[in-house]
Structure formats: structure tokens, C-alpha cells
Amino acid sequence: MNNVEILAVILTLAYIFFVSYLVIKQYNVVFVFMSSGIAVLLLCALLTGQSVLDADKSTGNLLIDVFQFVENEFNSNTAGTGITLMVVSGYAAYMSHIRASNKLAKIVVGPLSKLRSPYLVAALLFVIDSYMKTIISSHSALGILLMAIAFPILVELGLSRLSAAAIVVIGGFIDWGPSSPSAIFASSKVLGISPTEFFLQDQLLPGTVLVLVAAIFTALYFRYLDRKASGGSDSKLGVDKVAPAETVPSCPTWYALFPVLPLVLIIVFSVLPVFKLQVVSAFLLSLMVVFVIELVRSSNKKATTGDFKIVMSAMGKSFTNVVTIIIGASVFVKAIESLGGITIISNALASANIPILASTLMSLITFLAGIVLGSGIASWYGFGPLVPDIATKMGISTLSIALPMEIASGIGRCMSPVAAVMIAVAGMGGVKLMDLVRRCAVPCVVIFIANLIICAIFTLV
């Protein structure tokens, strides 16, 4: 590299570290991404005389072009990926409101209490946790739900509070399924395919293998730690019994089908040759069906129609908390690209012609960012859009880098002391936050390494 290229790399890395520092200091993520990105794009436009827009889309002024670019990002992200995320969030909130999600969790987890092998139950719960993530995409919401329903079962069987809480946290490491914000972003913004295709063709098989490996290792590792803490005995550790959480309010057992309904519709109609049902349509159709059933069963029709505010409110929160991060991250990524350092690094990776090196480095970035930011979404949205260009220059599939990166961001979240799920689970489990972080650390590192190996086998070999 010549001096100019070295300077470009230094400036790019300095910018990334500066933004990361501000986020660590708990400055608003969207503000940091967007304001710093706009500032860098304005400086680059002034210093290089080049527009951030293509010539045929330019406003005629280099500085105004920067704001036109931001407007374009608002339009494209809100109309496509944004609407999908908002509708999914609205449906999930309504499922929680009518207690259908609680009923599903109770039915799925309940039979585990009949098994008497504590670490077998822990491994099975880990798998259930991971697969429920395809239905309840919020890690913190799923964690809170399982702490209420499954945590008492694990502790009663003999796991320490720390291990039981860590199982709940780590079990939700993988962000997958047509309703997952990270998976929706990966499919639409990085891979250019539908969320259903991404889940069924690319995520499901390697994700299942990874979940099984993670469940077995985590259960065995926690068994070792708990035995060590109890002096090498397999007997119960003498922890306090945990009273079961409040009884799930009464609703019909068949309500447990409602959270799964959109996923079933999406998968069924992706197989049937008649027509395709897109994600938004599937969730809207399911929402309509559930609302009609609620109206029929309700004695207070007016109050039931008023519940639609819950859906709209959740959609608004999704725009505030998720969609705006996507928009801010797109400006941040464009700023990184404008500085030129990433292009130079990707060219160096391409000349090295070692695909596994590229996927490892990029996955490590999102893994560490997930730990620092406490959000798999923010880390993946921030660096995911860089993947297609790197993959093209290396002559490999975008999936071979994108898949391990997307999964790694969620793994990092599971050992972050600032992650919402970590804070919530530690509080509900009555354990110290940093003790929970340390308990999760080794399994997360092992799962990260397993993720690289398994994804390489499925996408590179």
C-alpha cells in the first residue's frame, strides 16, 4: 500500500472507533450513525469534488446531494424492509397482549418438567429457545417469557441459578426465520432474496446444526461448572427453590397456534406452486384472522377494536427502535465507503484469496460489535452492507460471508453487559449481571468458532 492508501485505512478505522466509542458512552445510536455519517459525506464531497449520488440522480449541488442521499435512504428503507419489520412487530405485540405467546411457551416448555435429568432438560430447553426465536424474534421478550416459565423448572431440577439464567440467554443467540429483523435485513439488503428463501434455503440447515452443537456443549459445560461448585456432586446444589411465575391468564389452548400461524403460512405457500405469500401479507392475513376470532369471542366488542392501538403502537416503536437504526446505519456505511479504507482492505483480502479469512474477520467485527453495542441488530446493520462488494472482489458468494456475520452478531449480544436481555434475565434470576456475563462467555466463544466452521462447510466447501 502507498501512503495515500495507508492514510485512507487509518482514517476509516479511526472513524469506526470514534463512532463505537460514542455508542459505548451511550450516545443515541441513530444520532451517532446519521450525524457522523452526514459529516463525513459532506467533508468527502468538499475534498474530492465527487457526489455521493450517481450523475443522473444528482441535484446539481455536491452538498445538497448528501441530504438527497439520506432522503433516498429514508424512502427505500421505510417502504421495503421497514414496513416488513413494523408489521411483524405489531403482530408480535398483539400475540403478547392476548397471551397467545405465553400459552405457546407454556405448552412447549411444560413437558420438560416431567424429565428428571437436569442437563438433558437444559439442552432441550436451549433447542426450544432457539426455535422459538423464529416466532418471537425479540431476544429480550423471549428471555423474559422463558424466565417466567422455564427458569423455575431448571432450578427445581438442580441447575444453579446462574446456569439456568445463562441457558435462557444463550439459547436465543441465533436470529433466524422470516420474522427476524436481522434475517429480513440480510435477505433484502445484503443478499437480495426474500426472507423465506433465506430462512429455508440458507439458514435452516446450518442453523440447526449449530444450535444442536451449542446446546450440547453449553449443557455439558454448565454441568461441569455446577458440579465443580458443589464439590463434584451430581446432587442438587441446594439453591433456593423458585416459585413459578404468575399463572398465564386464561385463554384457549388453541391460541398457541396464533404465534406460529404466519410462519406456517409462509412456509406452506413457499412450497405450493399456486402462488407465493410474502411476509407482510402473511402477517396481515394472520392478524385479520386473529382479530375476527377475538371479536367473535369478546363480550366487549368496542374494547377489542381498541386493542388495534397495540398493533399500531408496536409498529411505531419498531420504526423508532429498529427502522431508524437501519437508515442511520446505511448512512454510516456510505461514509465508511467514501473514506476508502474498506475498499483497500477488501482488495487486500481478495488478493490473499483466502475466503475463510474474509468471513472470519468480518464475523469477528460483528461479534465484537455485538458485545460492545449490546445489540446484534446495530452491529449487523452497520457492517452487513459492506459484504456484497467484498465477496464480489474475492469471487465468492455473498452468503459465505453474510451468514456467519449475521449469526455472529447475535452471539456477541449474548455476552454483552449492556444487552437488554442480559439485564432483564439477571434481574429476574436474582444473579449479578457480570457473573451472568462471565457464565455466558465461554459458550459464546465456542459457539462463535463453531459458527465459522459450520457456515464454511455449508457455504464454501
Q: Provide the whole-model pTM.
A: 0.80
* pLDDT score, position 158: 86
* pLDDT score, position 435: 94
CA 221 to each of CA 228, 309, 358, 442: distance values in angstroms, whole numbers, following the listed order: 11, 45, 30, 9
Distance CA 293, CA 283 (A): 15
* pLDDT score, position 239: 47
Distance CA 459, CA 231 (A): 44
DSSP assigned state of 231 = T
Grid look-up 406452486 returns: 273
* pLDDT score, position 242: 52
The amino acid present at 383, given as its one-letter code, is F
Q: What share of the chain is helix, strand, coil (3-state, %, to 5)?
A: 80, 0, 20
* pLDDT score, position 256: 87
**Residue 13, SS3?**
helix
Distance CA 170, CA 402 (A): 21
Each domain of the chain, given as residue ranges in start order, spans 3-459
Rounded to 5 degrees, φ, ψ at 236 are -60, 150
Q: Which alpha helices (H) appear in 25-150, and where do they start and end?
A: 29-48, 62-77, 83-97, 100-109, 118-132, 139-149
Rounded to 5 degrees, φ, ψ at 205 are -70, -55
Distance CA 22, CA 443 (A): 29
The length of the chain, given as a count of residues = 461
Tens digits of pLDDT across the chain (461 residues): 678 888 888 998 899 889 888 877 878 888 998 999 999 999 999 998 899 998 888 898 999 999 999 999 898 888 777 888 888 888 888 988 888 888 887 888 778 777 778 899 999 999 999 998 988 888 888 888 888 888 888 888 889 999 999 999 999 999 998 888 899 999 988 999 988 899 999 999 999 999 999 999 999 999 999 998 877 655 444 444 555 555 545 688 899 899 889 888 888 887 776 777 888 898 999 999 999 999 999 889 899 999 999 999 989 988 887 788 888 888 988 898 888 887 787 777 777 777 888 899 989 989 988 888 787 787 788 888 888 888 888 888 999 999 999 999 999 999 988 788 898 899 888 899 999 999 999 999 999 999 999 999 998 76
